[in-house]
Amino acid sequence: MKLSALVEQYRGSVLENVHMGVLCGVNEFGEVLYEVGNAEHRAFLRSAAKPFQAIPVMQDKVVEAFGITGEEAALFAASQRGEAYQLRALESILRKTGISEEQLITRPTIPLNDEPKLDYLMKGLPPRCICHNCSGKHLGILSLCKVMGYPMDNYGDINHPAQQRILKVLSELSECPVSDIHIAIDGCGFPVFALPLKCSASAYLKLACPDLIADESVRNAVIQITGYMNAYPNMIASHDFICSELLRDSNIVAKGGAKGFYAFALKKERIAFALKVIDGSENPWPIIVASVLEQMRYSNKETIRRMYELTPKEIRNDNGVIVGENKAAFRF
């Protein structure tokens, strides 16, 4: 396993912590332009797979069949945090589709964000399946099952027709044979996919540059779901989270997954990146993304500024005093 330092954390002048990992950037010809560590490193996409898992939902016109709004449909690719506006949208999808909340295989839980979590606890509300941060993805697939007549009781099984379609489209967009995609079970009960990092980056490039997709149905589905992601970024995570902050930039398609996996693609530049922080931490993501954009001389400085707001270069103690520094440790 070839790893490199991605982010260093200093306390005073002493190196206190290092986040190791791998990162690669690819172009539209499948060439690895940027490599930190090993671009062949295999990593689970986790929730970064959600835009691909939403493609069959878009292909079969689920949004149109049930009168689902674009803002609601963005949740099909989201890792929502339980904000009131997200739960209202999820409840609206339940009503429009006629799906029972009990049909979701997601574990009943409470909101993730502090404010809605506190409100939930103060009101003594019970855990709910739609509070799970993957509930939007699950509702998307259940809605697809209703439209297509697929069985709904085993929709999370890898052999289910919806899951087989997801696997096929991910293979096509990543240019990774199905036989080379390793499959396990995600936290929410769905299949989860491990691919070489360069293949994940290639798949994300297709999200940003759908003209690279030969299949018209898949191409139109990608245009639809990524359009929702950029139009309603707060639905994809929530305010002050990296996915939502990157998606405010209409030139970027981005999504993170659990345990340190992140991917993003630049439309005009026609380049995509995938990275894995090997200790599973998410906090270094904004520093890494900001450094990539700076080294590329990315023109939208506001996007870079937002990254440093999420994870500042300065490390402050409990009293707000600067005591150290976060620093990207890689150079292309």
Rounded alpha-carbon distances, angstroms, from residue 144 to 137, 151, 222, 281:
11, 10, 16, 33
- pLDDT per residue as tens digits for the range 155-192: 999 999 999 999 999 999 999 999 999 999 999 999 99
Question: For position 266, which CATH number holds?
Answer: 3.40.710
Q: Please name the amino acid found at residue 165.
A: R
| % of the chain at pLDDT higher than 70 | 100
Pairing type for strands 252-257 and 322-328 reads unpaired
Q: Helix, strand or coil for residue 286?
A: helix
In this structure, are residues 182 and 5 in contact, taking their beta carbons and an 8 Å threshold? no
Range of the domain at 251: 4-328
- pLDDT per residue as tens digits for the range 47-105: 999 999 999 999 999 999 999 999 999 999 999 999 999 999 999 999 999 999 999 99
In this structure, are residues 83 and 113 in contact, taking their beta carbons and an 8 Å threshold? yes
Return d(Cα 315, Cα 324) in angstroms, integer. Answer: 5
In this structure, are residues 47 and 134 in contact, taking their beta carbons and an 8 Å threshold? yes
Strands (DSSP E) contained in the chain are: 4-11, 14-27, 32-36, 42-44, 182-185, 191-196, 252-257, 261-266, 271-277, 314-316, 322-328
51: closest CA among 176, 224, 180, 214?
224
Q: Which residues pair with 327 in a beta bridge?
A: 8
Return d(Cα 216, Cα 170) in angstroms, integer. Answer: 15
Return d(Cα 286, Cα 310) in angstroms, integer. Answer: 7
- In eight-state DSSP terms, residue 33 is E
Q: Where does 6-108 have alpha helices with state H?
A: 50-53, 55-59, 62-66, 70-73, 84-97
Domain total of the chain: 1
Does the pLDDT at position 3 exceed 90? yes
Written as six digits, the tokens of 226 are 């990524």
Per-residue confidence band for 1, with pLDDT thresholds at 50, 70 and 90: confident
pLDDT, the chain, mean? 97
In this structure, are residues 99 and 72 in contact, taking their beta carbons and an 8 Å threshold? no
Per-residue confidence band for 215, with pLDDT thresholds at 50, 70 and 90: very high
In this structure, are residues 275 and 23 in contact, taking their beta carbons and an 8 Å threshold? yes
The predicted structure's pLDDT at residue 135: 98
Does the pLDDT at position 277 exceed 90? yes
Return d(Cα 100, Cα 75) in angstroms, integer. Answer: 17
Q: What share of the chain is helix, strand, coil (3-state, %, to 5)?
A: 45, 20, 35
The predicted structure's pLDDT at residue 260: 98
Which phi and psi angles does 70 have, rounded to 5°?
-60, -40
